[in-house]
Amino acid sequence: MGSSKPRSLSKTISEVVGFLLLSAFYIVQAIVKFFLPKKYHNYKDVKGEIALVTGGGGGLGRLLALRLAKLGATVVLWDINVAGLEETVNLVNSIGGKAFAFKCDISDKDDVYKAAEITRQEVGDVQILINNAGIATGDTLLATPDHLIKKTFEVNVIAHFWTVKSFLPKMIEKNHGHIVTVASMAGFVGSNKLVTYCATKYAAVGFDDALRVELESQGIFGVKTTAICPFFIQSTGMFNDVNARYIPTLKPNDVADRIIEALQKDETVVLMPNWFSIALVLRMIVPWSVVSLCMRGLVIDPTPKQTAAKTNGSAKIEDFPQKSNGSVKESVSTLNHRIVTNGKNVH
């Protein structure tokens, strides 16, 4: 059996010095970008790109679709809400954009793979993937039925594996693409009545982080990933009228604008509001009793309201999955995922 050759001291020192110099360069680069006026930033052009948004039948997904269409991207929408998909496509059409919509239950691996194949055949290879769809229970862990815990993980986390595996190979082949994970500040801090939701968002943040490292370790720097971590968002159907003290909930249009900005600037992790980054650093320093006191006082009751829209993009878990509308001649089981293409039914 052979033994590994010991590393020379000079080589170790040179590698450490190289690491420190390169790290210093990246830190200075980040500082310059942070303070650089927006007009001097390099914004990626998405015109002509094919962008897929899960949960595109309403809420934040719809807002993202409209912004991408305005920038000249061809938008592909996935959701379980047929009526919502049709409405989003019509809105995209009204601003001169181009959109395709497919009914897809992202919690079903086979359904995702089938919808992905149809998307490739009818639209083309996806260059921008926005994993936006998400659901929440809004109850204590012991009061949450097992099947709802399972469903929350299937939609909020496991679905990302299926969507990314569907479209990443072509991105790698062309060394070009962008995967956006819409996570949450709940991916960094816990909250009452959101144990399941927080666990899925922690996983989503970890998924994005590990995927980025994996790609760069393989020398693939043309495929970017971004994790979006906002505080509670108003009027998207998931956390309407959450009773959050001290910190105002976010406006959906502001969140959508920030996501598109992060996409165009190839940002890696976006916290909203951005000063939460300071709070996360403090969380690592102060005693747990301080963190607990803060979290217990910040959000009294995050329970999703009963006005939630029936869409992957902003849903109460009780609304998922929505069954096919009897008037719509489509069936997932027969691979006919088509709902609308540029506002026209193509069943």
Q: Which residues are catalytic?
A: 197
Nearest to 317 by CA among 306, 325, 328, 326: 306
Nearest to 315 by CA among 138, 83, 189: 138
Nearest to 330 by CA among 343, 344, 346: 346
Rounded CA-CA distance 33/28 in Å is: 9
DSSP letter assigned to residue 6? P
Beta strands in the chain (DSSP E): 50-54, 74-79, 98-103, 128-131, 135-136, 177-182, 223-230, 243-244, 269-272, 299-301, 315-316, 338-341, 344-345
Rounded CA-CA distance 301/347 in Å is: 43
Report the run of H or E that residue 33 belongs to, with start and end: helix 9-35
Q: Are strands 338-341 and 344-345 parallel, antiparallel or unpaired?
A: antiparallel
Rounded CA-CA distance 202/187 in Å is: 4
Report the run of H or E that residue 178 belongs to, with start and end: strand 177-182
* Beta carbons within 10 angstroms of residue 335's beta carbon: 14
Strand partners, 75: 51, 99
Nearest to 109 by CA among 324, 284, 332: 332
Backbone angles phi, psi at 323, to 5 degrees: -75, 160
Measured CA distances, 67 to 98, 182, 286, 339, 345 (Å): 12, 16, 40, 21, 23
- Single-letter amino acid code for the residue at 106: I
